[in-house]
Amino acid sequence: MKHSSKLASSFRIVGLAVALVSALPTFVAADDIISQIVARCPAQPRTYAQVTDYLRQLSGASSRVKLQVIGYSHRRRPLLLVTVTDPDSPAAQKMRLFIIARQHGNEPAGTTATLGLVEHFAHAPSALEQAVLKHLEIIAVPVANPDGAVAHQRRNAAGVDLNRDWQQASQPETQALQAAVYAYQPHAIMDLHELPAHSSRASYQQNFVETIGTNGQLPAPLSAYTGAISKNISLWMTRYSYGLNVFYDYPGDSLKLCHRYLGLYQGFPTFLCEVKPGAGRSLRYRAGFHILAAIVVANYLIHNPAAPRPAGPRVMQVAEAADKQTPVRQRLPQPVATGGPGQVQPITVALQTEPTTDSDGNQRMQIMTQVDGGSDFAFVTIAAGGVTRVLTNQRLYHYSLDLNMLPPGECPIVARAHDTSGRMVATQQLTLTVPTAGGTLGR
Ligand SMILES: [Zn+2]
């Protein structure tokens, strides 16, 4: 409960961010949008039957809400897709945010968050929400794994981890989800999860977001878009007292996972959101993490509209067999400016490294960053070998670098401190010597 008052006050800030939408001048009145959504979330997860009943009730009660069946699970339970938008506003002027929740049946926070968002915008209680819905369509699959949700298990009824099935698309659930994503051509995709308490990797023991990184192999506009959004998420999470690491995906990472397949391979801006359960973190607190992330992404989309595209046919099709040779497709018409160099501030950055071996026997380098000074300091990014690996607002601003990811030889490690506008304000570099297999670490 100690989180609730802090959340209630800090959630007001996101409302103010939404208020900055220049085309939508009336937003200040609704400056507590997120606390409203969180407060109306149930304290305990709804059952699958309650979720479907509730969605049907919402779609019956609001012309903004449409419900459709996009497929069926192994046990023939319907896969429900819900949309919320202003039906009278032209589709061409809307940004489309596609939310996938609960691929893992035992992770209810994403479902709770999604229903909270849908309910809130279905009622559209103020001019803020009404104006937002003229520019935004929320498309959501609140329960991507109905059989797993009913059985309280991670996998689907066939025993398959759906979030490892995106490249193969062997399951009816993943096939239906892919067809829906391709039909809607969203401007951003979020995949909502809860990080298991027993997570083995140190990096995964805290809340995190994973998205497309920046390097020469990835389309620059896509990287610019996901990079700017990830900074926005980090800044807002910091203000709302959520610790967060952002990890970046690069070609060569496994494409079995939803956000990587749709991001690295299909070229959509994707965001995996993992909130940490346990330690007394309530369902509302965990759902609040996802709600906050979704509102920040939606807010960014509205502020940074890509050139309008035709709405396109919305005919569901069976997912096409993936052509493994197709390069990442570029779906974002415009790169987004992420700000120039920041003002000079008395911030210093110190870097430390420590070699370790993880439980899988991989050689790793623990990279710790110490930041001193600067009241405006917000977060650190750490780059290895020229690409950013993590963005973190959590001391010790740490990253566990898998040395197998790097070629042997000299490798620059760069830590950069950023201010609350996302601008880089201080930097520090050192050089690691990455050994050949079996060699000794140096720097
Ligand atoms: Zn999960």
Tell whether the model's pLDDT for residue 317 goes beyond 70: no
List residues bridging with 102 in a β-sheet.
none
Distance from Cα 108 to the centre of ligand 1, integer Å:
10
**Contact predicate 298/135, CB 8 Å:** no
**Quick one: fold of 9-303?**
Aminopeptidase (3.40.630)
Distance from Cα 192 to the centre of ligand 1, integer Å:
7
pTM: 0.81
Distance from Cα 257 to the centre of ligand 1, integer Å:
10
Residues 224-246 have a mean pLDDT of 89
Task: Check residue 7 and give its pLDDT.
Answer: 40
Residues 79-104 have a mean pLDDT of 94
Task: Check residue 274 and give its pLDDT.
Answer: 96
Task: Check residue 363 and give its pLDDT.
Answer: 84
Distance from Cα 205 to the centre of ligand 1, integer Å:
13
Please indicate whether residue 309 or residue 169 has the higher confidence score (pLDDT): 169
Distance from Cα 315 to the centre of ligand 1, integer Å:
29
Task: Check residue 68 and give its pLDDT.
Answer: 94
Distance from Cα 275 to the centre of ligand 1, integer Å:
9
Distance from Cα 195 to the centre of ligand 1, integer Å:
6
Contacts 24+ apart (CB under 8 A), 4-7: 4/284, 4/285, 6/240, 6/241, 7/34, 7/35, 7/38, 7/240, 7/241, 7/285, 7/288
Distance from Cα 256 to the centre of ligand 1, integer Å:
13
Distance from Cα 173 to the centre of ligand 1, integer Å:
15
Rg of the chain (C-alpha set): 21
Distance from Cα 105 to the centre of ligand 1, integer Å:
8
Query: Tens digit of pLDDT for each residue in 427-442?
Result: 888 898 888 764 544 4
Distance from Cα 169 to the centre of ligand 1, integer Å:
17
**Quick one: fold of 348-434?**
Immunoglobulin-like (2.60.40)
Beta strands 65-72 and 136-141 are unpaired
**pLDDT tier at 370, thresholds 50, 70, 90:** confident
Tell whether the model's pLDDT for residue 378 goes beyond 70: yes
Distance from Cα 110 to the centre of ligand 1, integer Å:
9
Paired tokens of 381:
């990014």
Query: Tens digit of pLDDT for each residue in 330-346?
Result: 232 222 334 444 444 57
Question: Cis ω on the peptide bond leading into residue 20 (within 30° of 0)?
Answer: no
Distance from Cα 430 to the centre of ligand 1, integer Å:
35
DSSP 3-state percent helix, strand, coil across the chain (nearest 5): 35, 25, 40
Distance from Cα 337 to the centre of ligand 1, integer Å:
32
184 closest CA partner among 101, 251, 100: 100
Distance from Cα 44 to the centre of ligand 1, integer Å:
18
Distance from Cα 278 to the centre of ligand 1, integer Å:
14
Distance from Cα 290 to the centre of ligand 1, integer Å:
13
* Ranges of each domain in the chain: 9-303, 348-434
Task: Check residue 199 and give its pLDDT.
Answer: 66
**Contact predicate 37/117, CB 8 Å:** yes
Please indicate whether residue 89 or residue 221 has the higher confidence score (pLDDT): 89
Distance from Cα 350 to the centre of ligand 1, integer Å:
35
Distance from Cα 283 to the centre of ligand 1, integer Å:
15
Distance from Cα 321 to the centre of ligand 1, integer Å:
25
218 closest CA partner among 46, 388, 416: 388
Task: Check residue 372 and give its pLDDT.
Answer: 83
Task: Check residue 344 and give its pLDDT.
Answer: 45
Task: Check residue 32 and give its pLDDT.
Answer: 67
Distance from Cα 142 to the centre of ligand 1, integer Å:
13
Distance from Cα 183 to the centre of ligand 1, integer Å:
24
Distance from Cα 72 to the centre of ligand 1, integer Å:
20
Task: Check residue 197 and give its pLDDT.
Answer: 66
Distance from Cα 114 to the centre of ligand 1, integer Å:
15
Say which range, 24-28, 91-95, 251-255, 280-284, has the weakest mean pLDDT: 24-28
Tell whether the model's pLDDT for residue 311 goes beyond 60: no
**pLDDT tier at 288, thresholds 50, 70, 90:** very high
Task: Check residue 102 and give its pLDDT.
Answer: 98
Distance from Cα 194 to the centre of ligand 1, integer Å:
5
Distance from Cα 225 to the centre of ligand 1, integer Å:
24
Residues 345-374 have a mean pLDDT of 82
Task: Check residue 327 and give its pLDDT.
Answer: 28
Say which range, 14-23, 114-123, 135-144, 159-168, has the weakest mean pLDDT: 14-23
Say which range, 50-59, 155-164, 256-265, 307-316, has the weakest mean pLDDT: 307-316
Task: Check residue 96 and give its pLDDT.
Answer: 93
From the DSSP assignment, how many helices (H) and strands (E) are in the chain?
10, 15
Task: Check residue 110 and give its pLDDT.
Answer: 98
Task: Check residue 17 and give its pLDDT.
Answer: 43
**Contact predicate 330/267, CB 8 Å:** yes
